[in-house]
Amino acid sequence: MARLRIVDVSELEPPEPLTVALEAVRELSGDELLVLRHRREPFPLYTMLAEMGFSYNVRKGTVTPVEVVIWLGRGEVPRAGA
């Protein structure tokens, strides 16, 4: 099971959300999921993630309007554990 890491950038002003997201992604290991909480979809991030070898899934958030679940590699989102 993948470990869950949550990063909330919803209160940050541009370009900080992108900077913080990229820093968190660079620190992500293969057994972790990153949940990026944001107030809107970070469209510029998606191309960068693909180029870096990450996959993502966008969903409606429960705490913020948007959550982007990010993981290393391709394929289905891994199951999250504690």
The verdict on residue 80 lying in a domain is: no
Say if 82 falls within a structural domain. Answer: no
Across 1-20, average pLDDT: 95
The single-letter DSSP state of residue 62 is S
CB 25 within 8 A of CB 52: yes
Boundaries of domain holding 58: 3-72
Does 38 fall in a domain? yes
Can you list the alpha helix ranges (DSSP code H) found in 1-82? Answer: 16-26, 43-51
Please indicate, yes or no, if residue 79 is contained in any of the structural domains: no
pLDDT tens, position by position, 11-51: 999 999 999 999 999 999 988 999 999 999 999 999 999 99
Residue 77 belongs to some domain of the structure: no
Structural domain total, the chain: 1
Average pLDDT, integer, range 63-72: 97
CATH number of the domain residue 65 falls in: 3.30.110.40
Q: Is the peptide bond before 15 cis (omega within 30 degrees of 0)?
A: yes
